[in-house]
Amino acid sequence: MDNQTQTAAKQTALVTGATSGIGRAITLAMAEAGYDVIALGRRATVLEKMKAYPGVRPMALDLTDREALATALAGEQIDVLVNNAGIIPPITRFFDMDQADIDTTLEVNLSAAIAVTRLVLPAMVARKRGHLFFTGSIAGQGAFPNMAVYGATKAAISHFAAGLRCDLSGSGVRVSEIVAGRVETELYRDALSAQARADMYEVYDAVQPEDVAQMLMTVLQMPPHVDVTRFDILPTAQFVGGGGFAEKDA
Protein backbone atom coordinates (compact mmCIF):
# COMPACT_ATOMS: atom_id res chain seq x y z
CA MET A 1 0.00 0.00 0.00
CA ASP A 2 1.46 3.37 -1.02
CA ASN A 3 1.60 6.48 1.18
CA GLN A 4 -1.40 8.11 -0.52
CA THR A 5 -3.55 5.04 0.07
CA GLN A 6 -2.41 4.81 3.69
CA THR A 7 -3.40 8.44 4.23
CA ALA A 8 -6.76 7.94 2.51
CA ALA A 9 -7.48 4.87 4.65
CA LYS A 10 -7.58 7.16 7.69
CA GLN A 11 -10.09 9.54 6.13
CA THR A 12 -13.83 9.55 5.62
CA ALA A 13 -15.61 10.87 2.56
CA LEU A 14 -19.29 11.68 2.14
CA VAL A 15 -20.73 11.45 -1.37
CA THR A 16 -24.31 12.55 -2.02
CA GLY A 17 -26.26 11.23 -4.97
CA ALA A 18 -24.12 8.10 -4.77
CA THR A 19 -26.46 5.53 -6.28
CA SER A 20 -25.76 6.19 -9.96
CA GLY A 21 -23.67 8.03 -12.51
CA ILE A 22 -20.99 10.42 -11.30
CA GLY A 23 -21.76 9.87 -7.63
CA ARG A 24 -21.45 6.11 -7.87
CA ALA A 25 -18.22 6.33 -9.87
CA ILE A 26 -16.70 8.73 -7.34
CA THR A 27 -17.80 6.53 -4.44
CA LEU A 28 -16.15 3.44 -5.90
CA ALA A 29 -12.97 5.29 -6.90
CA MET A 30 -12.53 6.74 -3.42
CA ALA A 31 -13.24 3.42 -1.74
CA GLU A 32 -10.67 1.74 -3.97
CA ALA A 33 -8.16 4.41 -2.94
CA GLY A 34 -8.70 3.51 0.71
CA TYR A 35 -11.26 6.04 1.88
CA ASP A 36 -14.13 5.10 4.17
CA VAL A 37 -16.97 6.37 1.96
CA ILE A 38 -20.44 7.19 3.21
CA ALA A 39 -22.56 6.72 0.09
CA LEU A 40 -25.74 8.75 0.54
CA GLY A 41 -28.77 8.32 -1.70
CA ARG A 42 -32.49 7.57 -1.82
CA ARG A 43 -32.54 4.30 -3.78
CA ALA A 44 -32.37 1.73 -0.98
CA THR A 45 -32.17 -1.30 -3.27
CA VAL A 46 -29.16 0.11 -5.11
CA LEU A 47 -27.48 1.12 -1.86
CA GLU A 48 -27.97 -2.39 -0.52
CA LYS A 49 -25.96 -3.78 -3.44
CA MET A 50 -23.19 -1.26 -2.81
CA LYS A 51 -22.48 -2.92 0.52
CA ALA A 52 -20.53 -5.49 -1.47
CA TYR A 53 -17.77 -2.95 -2.12
CA PRO A 54 -15.13 -2.73 0.64
CA GLY A 55 -14.93 0.71 2.18
CA VAL A 56 -18.46 1.77 1.15
CA ARG A 57 -21.04 2.57 3.82
CA PRO A 58 -24.40 3.04 2.09
CA MET A 59 -26.88 5.37 3.77
CA ALA A 60 -30.47 5.70 2.53
CA LEU A 61 -31.56 9.26 3.23
CA ASP A 62 -33.56 12.07 1.70
CA LEU A 63 -31.37 15.18 1.71
CA THR A 64 -34.41 17.39 2.07
CA ASP A 65 -35.08 15.91 5.53
CA ARG A 66 -32.85 18.24 7.51
CA GLU A 67 -33.47 16.59 10.90
CA ALA A 68 -32.71 13.10 9.63
CA LEU A 69 -29.62 14.40 7.85
CA ALA A 70 -28.24 16.03 11.00
CA THR A 71 -28.94 12.89 13.03
CA ALA A 72 -27.29 10.61 10.48
CA LEU A 73 -24.10 12.67 10.31
CA ALA A 74 -23.80 13.33 14.05
CA GLY A 75 -20.45 12.05 15.25
CA GLU A 76 -19.07 11.53 11.76
CA GLN A 77 -15.73 13.16 10.92
CA ILE A 78 -15.97 14.04 7.25
CA ASP A 79 -12.65 14.80 5.56
CA VAL A 80 -13.95 15.03 2.00
CA LEU A 81 -17.46 16.08 1.00
CA VAL A 82 -18.70 15.57 -2.55
CA ASN A 83 -21.94 17.49 -3.04
CA ASN A 84 -23.11 15.61 -6.11
CA ALA A 85 -26.86 15.01 -5.65
CA GLY A 86 -28.92 16.75 -8.29
CA ILE A 87 -31.94 16.50 -10.55
CA ILE A 88 -33.06 17.90 -13.88
CA PRO A 89 -36.69 19.03 -13.93
CA PRO A 90 -38.89 18.56 -17.01
CA ILE A 91 -37.11 20.24 -19.92
CA THR A 92 -39.57 22.92 -20.94
CA ARG A 93 -40.10 26.66 -20.95
CA PHE A 94 -40.05 28.22 -17.50
CA PHE A 95 -43.63 29.49 -17.69
CA ASP A 96 -44.84 25.98 -18.49
CA MET A 97 -43.20 24.45 -15.40
CA ASP A 98 -45.15 23.29 -12.37
CA GLN A 99 -44.30 25.13 -9.17
CA ALA A 100 -43.65 21.78 -7.46
CA ASP A 101 -40.91 20.96 -10.00
CA ILE A 102 -39.34 24.37 -9.48
CA ASP A 103 -39.34 23.98 -5.70
CA THR A 104 -37.89 20.48 -5.80
CA THR A 105 -35.09 21.49 -8.16
CA LEU A 106 -34.09 24.42 -5.95
CA GLU A 107 -34.25 22.24 -2.84
CA VAL A 108 -32.22 19.29 -4.13
CA ASN A 109 -29.68 21.08 -6.33
CA LEU A 110 -28.98 24.09 -4.12
CA SER A 111 -30.46 24.13 -0.63
CA ALA A 112 -29.49 20.54 0.20
CA ALA A 113 -25.86 21.09 -0.85
CA ILE A 114 -25.65 24.19 1.34
CA ALA A 115 -27.23 22.34 4.26
CA VAL A 116 -24.85 19.37 4.05
CA THR A 117 -21.87 21.69 3.77
CA ARG A 118 -23.00 23.61 6.86
CA LEU A 119 -23.11 20.39 8.86
CA VAL A 120 -19.60 19.16 8.06
CA LEU A 121 -17.64 22.37 7.52
CA PRO A 122 -17.15 23.62 11.10
CA ALA A 123 -15.25 20.46 12.05
CA MET A 124 -13.08 20.77 8.93
CA VAL A 125 -12.18 24.33 9.87
CA ALA A 126 -11.39 23.25 13.42
CA ARG A 127 -9.05 20.52 12.11
CA LYS A 128 -7.56 22.95 9.55
CA ARG A 129 -8.03 20.48 6.70
CA GLY A 130 -10.71 19.12 4.42
CA HIS A 131 -11.90 19.25 0.84
CA LEU A 132 -15.29 20.28 -0.49
CA PHE A 133 -16.40 19.33 -4.00
CA PHE A 134 -19.49 20.65 -5.75
CA THR A 135 -20.84 19.13 -8.96
CA GLY A 136 -21.74 22.05 -11.19
CA SER A 137 -22.55 22.16 -14.88
CA ILE A 138 -21.87 24.15 -18.01
CA ALA A 139 -25.57 24.99 -17.72
CA GLY A 140 -24.54 27.17 -14.80
CA GLN A 141 -21.95 28.99 -16.90
CA GLY A 142 -24.15 29.88 -19.87
CA ALA A 143 -27.80 29.97 -20.86
CA PHE A 144 -29.56 26.97 -22.40
CA PRO A 145 -33.16 26.94 -23.68
CA ASN A 146 -35.79 25.23 -21.54
CA MET A 147 -33.38 24.88 -18.58
CA ALA A 148 -33.75 28.21 -16.80
CA VAL A 149 -34.32 26.81 -13.31
CA TYR A 150 -31.75 24.02 -13.57
CA GLY A 151 -29.19 26.50 -14.91
CA ALA A 152 -29.99 28.92 -12.11
CA THR A 153 -29.31 26.28 -9.46
CA LYS A 154 -25.96 25.38 -11.02
CA ALA A 155 -24.99 29.04 -11.38
CA ALA A 156 -25.83 29.50 -7.71
CA ILE A 157 -23.70 26.49 -6.77
CA SER A 158 -20.80 27.97 -8.73
CA HIS A 159 -21.14 31.32 -6.95
CA PHE A 160 -21.57 29.65 -3.57
CA ALA A 161 -18.38 27.64 -4.07
CA ALA A 162 -16.47 30.79 -5.05
CA GLY A 163 -17.80 32.75 -2.09
CA LEU A 164 -17.12 29.87 0.28
CA ARG A 165 -13.54 29.78 -0.95
CA CYS A 166 -13.18 33.42 0.09
CA ASP A 167 -14.54 32.66 3.56
CA LEU A 168 -12.15 29.72 3.93
CA SER A 169 -8.99 31.50 2.82
CA GLY A 170 -6.18 30.45 5.14
CA SER A 171 -8.28 27.78 6.85
CA GLY A 172 -6.62 24.79 5.19
CA VAL A 173 -9.96 23.68 3.69
CA ARG A 174 -10.04 23.42 -0.10
CA VAL A 175 -13.03 23.99 -2.38
CA SER A 176 -13.34 22.62 -5.92
CA GLU A 177 -16.18 22.94 -8.42
CA ILE A 178 -16.70 20.26 -11.05
CA VAL A 179 -18.09 21.87 -14.21
CA ALA A 180 -19.41 18.98 -16.24
CA GLY A 181 -20.49 18.98 -19.85
CA ARG A 182 -22.42 16.09 -21.34
CA VAL A 183 -21.87 13.04 -19.17
CA GLU A 184 -23.56 9.73 -19.91
CA THR A 185 -25.56 9.19 -16.71
CA GLU A 186 -29.10 8.56 -15.53
CA LEU A 187 -29.61 12.26 -14.81
CA TYR A 188 -31.88 12.66 -17.82
CA ARG A 189 -33.85 9.50 -17.05
CA ASP A 190 -37.00 11.29 -15.89
CA ALA A 191 -36.59 14.39 -18.05
CA LEU A 192 -36.22 12.71 -21.46
CA SER A 193 -37.60 9.61 -23.13
CA ALA A 194 -35.35 6.62 -23.70
CA GLN A 195 -35.21 7.43 -27.42
CA ALA A 196 -34.37 11.08 -26.77
CA ARG A 197 -31.53 10.02 -24.46
CA ALA A 198 -30.23 7.56 -27.06
CA ASP A 199 -30.32 10.24 -29.74
CA MET A 200 -28.50 12.70 -27.49
CA TYR A 201 -25.64 10.31 -26.78
CA GLU A 202 -25.41 9.21 -30.42
CA VAL A 203 -24.27 12.63 -31.58
CA TYR A 204 -20.79 12.26 -30.07
CA ASP A 205 -18.95 10.34 -27.37
CA ALA A 206 -20.00 11.69 -23.97
CA VAL A 207 -17.80 11.89 -20.91
CA GLN A 208 -18.21 8.81 -18.72
CA PRO A 209 -18.79 9.01 -14.95
CA GLU A 210 -15.50 7.21 -14.39
CA ASP A 211 -13.70 10.03 -16.24
CA VAL A 212 -15.06 12.55 -13.76
CA ALA A 213 -14.10 10.31 -10.84
CA GLN A 214 -10.55 9.96 -12.15
CA MET A 215 -10.21 13.73 -12.43
CA LEU A 216 -11.57 14.25 -8.93
CA MET A 217 -9.05 11.79 -7.52
CA THR A 218 -6.25 13.64 -9.30
CA VAL A 219 -7.39 16.95 -7.79
CA LEU A 220 -7.78 15.38 -4.36
CA GLN A 221 -4.20 14.08 -4.41
CA MET A 222 -2.64 17.47 -5.10
CA PRO A 223 -0.42 18.81 -2.27
CA PRO A 224 -2.31 20.59 0.56
CA HIS A 225 -1.02 23.99 -0.57
CA VAL A 226 -2.66 23.56 -4.00
CA ASP A 227 -6.38 24.19 -4.50
CA VAL A 228 -7.81 23.35 -7.91
CA THR A 229 -10.73 25.72 -7.56
CA ARG A 230 -12.59 24.51 -10.65
CA PHE A 231 -12.18 22.02 -13.45
CA ASP A 232 -14.27 21.80 -16.62
CA ILE A 233 -14.70 18.33 -18.08
CA LEU A 234 -16.45 18.07 -21.45
CA PRO A 235 -16.50 15.69 -24.39
CA THR A 236 -13.78 16.60 -26.88
CA ALA A 237 -16.45 17.24 -29.53
CA GLN A 238 -18.65 19.45 -27.35
CA PHE A 239 -18.33 23.20 -27.28
CA VAL A 240 -19.50 25.20 -24.29
CA GLY A 241 -22.80 26.10 -25.95
CA GLY A 242 -23.85 22.48 -25.60
CA GLY A 243 -23.65 21.16 -29.13
CA GLY A 244 -20.93 19.27 -30.93
CA PHE A 245 -18.56 19.99 -33.77
CA ALA A 246 -18.81 16.58 -35.38
CA GLU A 247 -21.12 13.65 -35.66
CA LYS A 248 -20.03 10.55 -33.83
CA ASP A 249 -17.65 8.40 -35.89
CA ALA A 250 -17.66 11.02 -38.66
Among residues 150, 188, 201, 204, the one annotated as catalytic is 150
Starting at the edge strand that comes first in sequence, how are the strands of the sheet with 36-41 ordered?
56-60, 36-41, 12-16, 80-83, 130-135, 173-180, 230-233
Q: Measuring CA to CA, how many Å separate 69 from each of 58, 76, 210?
A: 14, 12, 27
For the CA atoms of 111, 231, 240, 186, the dihedral, rounded to the nearest 10 degrees, stands at -60
Integer Cα distance of 107 and 156 in angstroms: 12
Is residue 53 part of the annotated active site? The answer reads no
Return the biggest CA–CA distance within the chain.
Answer: 56
Task: Label residue 146 left, alpha or beta by phi (over 0 means left) and psi (-120 to 50 means alpha).
Answer: left
Q: Measuring CA to CA, how many Å separate 236 from each of 47, 50, 185, 205, 231?
A: 32, 31, 17, 8, 15
Catalytic (active-site) positions: 150
